[in-house]
Structure 1
Amino acid sequence: VLAGGGDGTISAAAARLMGTKKALAILPAGTMNLFARGLGIPQSLDGALKSFADGEIIAVDVATANGQPFIHQFSIGMHAKMVQLRQKMEFGSRLGKIRASAKAAWATINNPPAMNVTLGIGEAEMAARITGIGITNNLFGEGHLPYADNPAGGVLGVYVTVAKQRAELVKFFFNVARGKWRDNEHVEIHQTNRTVLKIHSSSRKFRAVMDGELVRLDRETVIEIQPGALNVLVPASAAQSRAA
């Protein structure tokens, strides 16, 4: 099944195909195309189509939040506020969306959200006041945009941000853009196959973002990795590098 769009559109297609024998071929037609990047799919439409001619089908992971599938990230706090602010702005192009995102990020830095949460990872449970949490379908790689180097790693990445001051938040956003997560002293990184997120602040005030789309934030969200749940068509070179 061939689907064209950004991570939100591809997430919807993946949700329909996961657990079946059908394979998903992705035409990267969004702003960032992060899931496609993680699969090694060329970022031009012509390049993607040509790569499928001798492509191979591999199985990759999907994550779920209270049973709802996502391919890239479930997040709360700063990212959700950024998306809410951006939706109020007008833009008619990919470049316009990037500019709107930058404006929304700066507004978020100047007035960051703060949430009281409990996060269960394995047998451990921690309570914290956070400005953001991102739970990802496999760990993000280092040194590039935030996407997973191994989409079949079988783990969730859990990124907890406690930065509060403007200088700390500017550094956080700068490190995220450069893929330097581990260089930021205000980010805790965990990995697990299941995590339970409980919101103790007023949940009506906050939303979550799942693969770039705003969704309702439940008081309690169970997030799990579903190993090998989705078949995808990838360039032969990408399949061979993973096999190696």
Structure 2
Amino acid sequence: MSQSAPPESTSGGHPPTKVDCFINPNARAAQEMAETFIEALEQAGIDVTVHWMSSCEQALDDIANLPETDAILVGGGDGTVSGLLPALLERRETIGILPLGTANDFARGAGIPTTPQAAAKVISEGHRLSVDTGLVADRPFLNVASLGISVEIASLHEDRAKKLLGRFAYPIRWAEAWHKHRPLKLKITTDGKSRRARCSLLAVGCGRHYGGGLTLDEQAQLNDGMLHLYYVAPRNALHWLWFLPGLWRGTLKDGDGAHTGTARKVTIETASGRAKKVNVDGEIVARTPINITIRPQSLTIFAPAERSN
């Protein structure tokens, strides 16, 4: 029987006293939740400077030029935090997260609660967790890169349903994406070993959860220094129903249409040489061929005490 991995540990609490908070106003329920979050931080004695993001590009510039502070907080979904990584990784400050996205898969893996008061408490308690980040096509990423059906889902999410339905939009989009999807023929190289694969879904990442409820690998730790990956061969609808429990729990095993593994470097190419879109932390921002590598414990975040270093 598979067993869940033990939780990561965190360092002793050292609460920040002065923070800068960058908030994506386009995130789901951003305004109300952000105000509650900031109020809870201030009640805990933390001085908060708020930056409402006009664009990711402007926020990257603002973070790069920010005077030294105790911590940098980000209010948004996985895509927002991931998009700000180029600047955040150049800073020395600990990063705090207010999950404002639809799925908040990274926050779920780190044990960060989605209610603003509880998320603020995690920061005010000051426990820290060093986590891995990845690099895909020379772009740092936070959680998971994927191809296949997940790209179709990300494309379908570019409408009002994602904001109106939240995580409930994902099952609907999965059904639509499965009907539209065409299997991929790929060459996958892991730490120098290559194989050919025909698959409907491939996921590679340093996180644990992605796609609004899927689990990359139940054994994955956010700081284990490894990329975890799997791909699923094309199957009919009944086979997909059979696969779903393993996709949700992260218990897929080699054989019968699935392949799993770990690596420090993964290269993905299409057999035809035609570029295919890549979903990176919920955003379509890359195309094959791509190299994916791991950056062990390159980012320090606030996390619950039971998850910290």
| Residue of 161, 166, 172 corresponding to 1:91 | 161
| Residue of 249, 269, 278 corresponding to 1:208 | 278
Q: Which amino acid aligns with 1:93?
A: K
Q: Which amino acid aligns with 2:297?
A: G
Q: Is the 8 A contact 2:122 2:302 kept in 1?
A: no
Q: Is the 8 A contact 2:185 2:197 kept in 1?
A: yes
Aligned to 1:102: 171
Offset of residue 106 of structure 1:
0.8
Q: Which runs of 4+ in 1 moved over 6 A?
A: none
Q: Which amino acid aligns with 2:215?
A: P
Aligned to 1:7: 78
1:170 is the counterpart of 2:210: no
1:1-244 equivalence runs, <5 A: 1-87=72-158, 89-91=159-161, 93=163, 96-138=165-207, 145-146=214-215, 150-182=221-253, 185-201=256-272, 203=274, 206-218=276-288, 220-239=289-308, 243=309
Larger radius of gyration: 2
Which piece of structure 1 moves more, 97-106 or 126-135? 97-106
Distance 2:129 2:248 in 1: 29
Distance 1:193 1:157 in 2: 9
Distance 1:74 1:92 in 2: 20
Q: 1:212 to 1:130 in 2, by over 3 A?
A: same
Q: 1:43 to 1:181 in 2, by over 3 A?
A: farther
Distance 1:151 1:11 in 2: 15
Query: CA RMSD, aligned part only?
Result: 2.5
Distance 1:92 1:33 in 2: 13
Distance 1:154 1:105 in 2: 30
Distance 1:98 1:20 in 2: 32
Q: 1:183 to 1:190 in 2, by over 3 A?
A: closer
Aligned residues: 234
Q: TM-score, normalised by structure 1?
A: 0.85
By relative contact order (CA 8 Å, sep 6+), the higher-ranking structure is 1
Q: 1:138 to 1:84 in 2, by over 3 A?
A: closer
Q: 1:203 to 1:173 in 2, by over 3 A?
A: farther
Q: 1:183 to 1:119 in 2, by over 3 A?
A: closer
Which piece of structure 1 moves more, 75-84 or 174-183? 174-183
Q: 1:121 to 1:183 in 2, by over 3 A?
A: closer
Q: TM-score, normalised by structure 2?
A: 0.68
Distance 1:32 1:48 in 2: 15
Distance 1:17 1:153 in 2: 21
Q: Unmatched 5+ residue regions in structure 2?
A: 1-71
Distance 2:245 2:176 in 1: 15
Distance 2:256 2:281 in 1: 26
Note the alpha carbon deviations across 1:136-170, whole angstroms, 9 max, x for none.
115669xx752675210100011111032121223
